[in-house]
Structure 1
């Protein structure tokens, strides 16, 4: 597997991308794909004048076997040592990090599908925003029903990258920015259910019984959860607009964990009815709900004969993880991150799982 290094040049509203070098002699590579946040990478390579000239900040690092994820170099660290040798550490994040350079400005009130809301935010701040444009940026493909669900919301001054991935976690989808020739495409998608709780897709089960679960740890904490929101909007005293929000059946008694959400700065515009304004407040309430905290760390077999990563399953998919020795099973758990590591010891996979509703 080779690394491809491209130069990225902005030409007003367009970009020009050209291949500068191909590298296959690095000491180690970490390729961290995340579902609800921007992924990152690290290249550790012997330092030489040639490598220092190749790996420059702002250039793009791609893998010859990955057409979806492209990293942009953000940090370089050169270390020289007479005994251990000279090494260059190259780090950065995937192209979605470009959205971190913009905020949502001015206030946007949106009503429609989540896809339409994202399109409106990106159009006004990234795509059709004059000098605020990200050159070469446009919407790509949109898949999954979660992006067709509807909502009404008001957003202002949020960092676009943080807002987008916060929205993703609320609805269970994800976003990725990829390089497509001389263009940057933002795709919206979701994971596929491959767990034992469905029969539409082949089951993916990581288990000590199958010798594809090398290590396993699990912890759960109910203290952080919030499952019922009281949301108060504009106005004063008893005249403040207010509503409540919960997901599904309203929790009661010991199962109820309440949170107060102050949205006094969310104004009700003239063309927004009271009912529509309450829907905006409900959307804010949904963002403040917190699921019970779970931590599940595992190491899985990188060269399993049963399942191949990025062929049989992908980051974002729902799978089953079980530890039969202790009678623990997570029948439907989401793979929200995967660190793929290459070094002198070969290839390893370190997944991150999270239980979802």
Structure 2
């Protein structure tokens, strides 16, 4: 059963039946949903763009951004609804100025959300529906500078770089953005119950494995403020010979000055080097070696269940004797699919090889 409310969280009604529902959650970004329902007056009225879908058994809520009508092969018409999780509301704001941060990634993200969405200096920029969950206090301080960046894009960059999860927790009345870290459930630790996904353990129905290093880089030279030989630079270097793969990053947008008490003062060389290295880390993330394992869980088995024995963001062990693979990696995406009165669960571990449209988007940034 799906509950519907408007963007101010006023309850509007329920959707009691549907022919298809995909509920996709991501660890370091916003989730998605797709819903197919009968074409009738009630569904057309409830499922308007901007309205919010939520479930009693899940704390993630989704807002509608697309409506369409589709005729199936059987001749039956369906109303098709597509949604994004409420985390994507962050896409509606950018950093209204130049910011220099020296704090943990968690606190930097919280500061961006608070300054640009919850309590901005311009009242019209405030998004009253958003609150922040309690801080967890994880991570170590980093140096970061950004000028006029999109809040969602900067949040995703930090979450991906430092393996942080972000979710929108909605209880039907209030919305809280929450930053968290998944739990280590691999075979290499003994603090938490272990989780192993494997056909050998009968908890996986099907799997797809892929790896690629065609765009892999492990060394980066970042050039910032200044001209010619006076230009400030920093590097992160790994490997030698053929194992060393180099990348150059033009970070001229990183200013070597900051505002203090309405005055512009120089940033120390030590601080600025850290800013350049932070930019380098973010760019190296776009050039990682890709290693991904997608699998369909067997929901009829009781030995390992998603949502009970492991969760989105947890680090688990994948074992496949036929492929000779044993890998410890994070659950980065989870799909729940409801169709024809059956439920399927698919989880994605690691980072998939990017599609051509994804590559193009990175190139134009």
> What's the TM-score once normalised by structure 1's chain length?
0.90
SS of equivalent to 1:308: coil
Distance in 1 between the 2:11 and 2:186 partners?
40
Structure 2 distance, partners of 1:83, 1:70, is 31
Q: Does 1:124 align with 2:115?
A: yes
**1:230–1:285 CA contact under 8 A, matched in 2:** yes
Aligned pairs (5 A) from 1:98-177 = 98-129=89-120, 130-143=123-136, 145=138, 148-177=139-168
- Render the CA deviation track for 1:28-75: whole Å, top value 9, x for unaligned: 110001112211001111110111111111111001211x20001111
Whether the 8 Å contact between 1:143 and 1:190 is mirrored in structure 2 is no
1:344, 1:81 → 2: CA distance? 14
**From 23, 27, 50, the counterpart of 2:19:** 27
Q: Flag structure 2 segments of 5+ consecutive residues without an equivalent.
A: 258-264, 353-365
Superposed displacement of residue 304, structure 1? 2.2
Deviations 1:65-100 (A, max 9, x none): 11x200011111124689622211111110001011
- The residue that corresponds to 1:245 in the other structure is 236
Verify: 1:298 aligned to 2:295, yes or no: yes
CA-to-partner distance for each residue in 1:332-357, whole Å, 9 max, x for gaps? Answer: 1211101110011501011111069x
Task: Give the structure 1 partner of residue 357 of structure 2.
Answer: none
SS in 1 for 2:293: strand
Partner of 1:272: 267
Count of residue correspondences: 341
More displaced, 311-320 or 117-126?
117-126
Kindly state the Cα deviation for residue 114 of structure 1 after the two structures are TM-superposed.
1.6
- 1:256 matched to which residue of 2? 244
Residue 34 of structure 2 aligns with which residue?
Answer: 42
**Aligned 8 A contact 1:29 1:44 in 2:** yes
Give the structure with the higher percent strand.
Answer: 1
Structure 1 residue 187, shift from structure 2 partner:
0.6
Answering whether residue 47 of structure 2 is matched by residue 55 of structure 1, we say yes
Secondary structure (helix, strand or coil) at the match of 1:288 reads helix
* Alpha-carbon RMSD: 1.9
Structure 1 unmatched ranges of 5 or more: 10-16
Aligned equivalent of 2:340: 344
CA offsets, 1:216-238, max 9 Å, x none?
Answer: 22222122111111111100011
Identify which range, 81-90 or 314-323, moves more after superposition.
81-90
Q: Distance in 2 between matches of 1:24 and 1:98?
A: 27
1:8 aligns with 2:3: no
Q: Scaled by the length of structure 2, what TM-score is found?
A: 0.88
